[in-house]
């Protein structure tokens, strides 16, 4: 039988026993993002729960993958691009990122955006946009102004 996982919430979107990690090991496809892993998965619930925080003016990687994200906004506000659509985000909002759909989260210039993100523990690696993808993604003026790679 597995043990209870219990992470008490501390101040400032930190949790007892949870380390603040780099968003990704390396790369220049993102800016000002941290990651905390709140649940590593269990044989009877094969998911990971992570908390990401995007600093003021920062953004996550523009990417897509087979696996689905289930996201809820936990701090501040921001904006997300999902497969050609934009959503304004505020605390408490719940959204999914469908399979194989380009997406990128951005925080406002003056405040952070924090969100919980749930994924299958067994999942594929994200793909980055090719030059051809990038040209197609940034054809609209709104997308060209928002997206970064």
Say if residue 148 is exposed, middle or buried (CB neighbours under 10 Å; 0-12, 13-18, 19+). middle
Binding residue (CB under 8 A) for its own copies from 19, 25, 85, 131: 85
Task: Enumerate residues 29-68 that contact its own copies by CB under 8 A.
Answer: 38-39, 42-47, 49, 66-68
CA 34 to each of CA 37, 50, 55, 131: distance values in angstroms, whole numbers, following the listed order: 10, 10, 8, 27
Is the CB of 13 or the CB of 138 nearer to its own copies?
13
Is the CB of 56 or the CB of 83 nearer to its own copies?
83
The answer to whether 46 is a known catalytic residue is no
CA distance 26 to 44: 32
Is the CB of 19 or the CB of 131 nearer to its own copies?
19
Q: What secondary structure does DSSP assign to 38-63, as a single string?
A: EE--BTTB-EEEEEEEEEEEEE---B
User: Applying CB under 8 A, what is the total number of residues that bind its own copies?
Assistant: 47
Contact between 67 and 123 (Cβ < 8 Å): yes
Least CB distance from residue 25 to its own copies, whole Å? Answer: 24
List the catalytic residues.
117
Q: Which residues bind its own copies (CB under 8 A)?
A: 1-9, 13, 15, 38-39, 42-47, 49, 66-70, 72-73, 82-83, 85, 87, 90-101, 116, 118-120
């Amino acid at each position: 039988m597995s043990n209870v996982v219990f992470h008490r919430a501390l101040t400032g979107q930190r949790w007892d026993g949870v380390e603040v990690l780099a968003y990704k090991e390396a790369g220049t496809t993102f800016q000002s993002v941290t990651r905390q892993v709140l649940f590593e998965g269990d044989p009877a619930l094969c998911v990971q729960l992570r908390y990401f925080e995007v600093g003021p003016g920062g953004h996550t990687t523009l990417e897509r993958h087979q696996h689905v994200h289930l996201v809820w906004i936990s701090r501040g506000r921001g904006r997300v691009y999902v497969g050609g659509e934009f959503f304004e985000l505020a605390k408490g909002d719940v959204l999914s990122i469908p399979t194989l759909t380009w997406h990128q989260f951005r925080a406002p210039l003056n405040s952070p955006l924090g969100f919980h993100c749930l994924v299958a523990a067994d999942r594929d690696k994200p793909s980055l946009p090719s030059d051809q993808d990038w040209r197609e993604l940034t054809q609209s003026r709104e997308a060209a102004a928002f997206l970064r790679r």
